[in-house]
Every structure is written in structure tokens, then in C-alpha cells.
Amino acid sequence: MTTALFSEDQRDALQELTNIGMGQAGASVAAVLGEFVQLSVPRILVLKPSLIPPALERIVGPEKVTAVRQGFHGDLRGEAVVVYGVAHCRELADLMGYDEVPDEATEHELLLDVSNVLIGACLGGLAEQISAEMGFSAPSLMATEVEVGSLLDVSRMDSPCALFVEVNFSLEKRSFACHLIMLLPEDQILVLRDAIDRFLASL
């Protein structure tokens, strides 16, 4: 594990910029769910692809998970993944006012909607701070009820390293929690680093 592609100042700036995006995402989700959202300190790592699944497993734990993915493009290109524990998927339906357990299609639609709000607000907030144009593909269901270690197919990652940014969203009065992971290939890490330098120079 390393963050050697970033200086200490760059890493601190990225953490603060991510915090700002997280705050916007937390406020957006709080408005949707009507609950106060608690945020973790962002984890920022530059990892070899083979080290991403075990890193994710340490963060999420051994439970089975369902995940939503959403690509982003423009000045920055990569993928965001929102990971939910299976029990938290059920909790989400209750939060959204469903008296009964929803059918599978409805549950998946809820996950897509909440993930879209989270990713759009968090990454949109980050992009705004560094004056980057960013667009998003439609969110899609990545996997349902799988072991977290098998969630990502790292054999398809052709970059020697990837930026792994993780934030944890939880609710103050509920057991619901989810993890937002942002993955950038190495060439995009360099683009982000240059954008951070411009941001720091403007202060």
C-alpha cells in the first residue's frame, strides 16, 4: 500500500476536497431519508489492483454485499462503487417508508436511486472544487449478495495501480450504512494530482 504518487500536501488536500464532497452527499441523502447522516474520515490509498479486494474486505467485513457501480467521465475518468451489506438493503426499504419487504426489483431500484444521489453529490462536489467537468453514466447493479472479496474482477484492471478512496455513510439512529469507493487508474491519478496542484496554487 502506498500513496507515494501524492505528496503530503496533495494527499491532505485530496482528503479535504473529498470531505467537502462527502458533506454534500451526506446532506443529499439526509434529505431523501429524513435521517441525520454520519460520515467517516476518507481513506485514501494507492494500491496495486490485486490489493483492492482485501482492502475492501477489511473495510466492509465478512458479510455478503450488494453493490452498485457508476462510471464517470470528462476531465476525470473512473468508476464509483457503492457497497451495501445485505441487511442494510432491507433497512433502506424501511427508511423509504415501505411497510412490507419490497420485491427484488423494487429493492434494486431503491439501491440505484440512493447510489446515484451519493455518487453524484460526492464526486460532483469534488469536481466543483477542482474546477473539473464531470459526467456520469447511469448507475447499474454490479452484484447481489456476494462475498465482498469477489466483488471486483481485478484481472480486468490494466493499470499497475489505482486510487482507492473510501468513505462510510451511516445513520445516527439506524443500523443502515454503506461504503462509497472511488477507483481511478494510474493515468487519471496523475490528472487528479495536477488538478489538486492548481487548486493549491489558487489558495
Structural domains in the chain, sorted by start: 8-196 (3.40.1550.10)
129 and 17 in contact (C-beta within 8 Å)? yes
Q: DSSP letter for 5, please.
A: T
CA dist 36 and 27 (Å) reads 8
* pLDDT surpassing 60 at residue 2: no
Q: What is the pLDDT of residues 88-134, one digit of tens each?
A: 777 777 777 776 767 888 888 988 988 998 899 889 989 999 999 99
71 and 134 in contact (C-beta within 8 Å)? no
Q: Which residues contact 62 (CB under 8 A, 6 or more apart)?
A: 148
* pLDDT surpassing 90 at residue 77: yes
Q: What is the pLDDT of residues 124-178, one digit of tens each?
A: 989 999 999 999 999 999 999 998 888 887 777 777 778 888 888 888 777 777 8
pLDDT value for 70: 95
44 and 165 in contact (C-beta within 8 Å)? yes
| E strand or H helix that includes residue 181 | strand 177-185
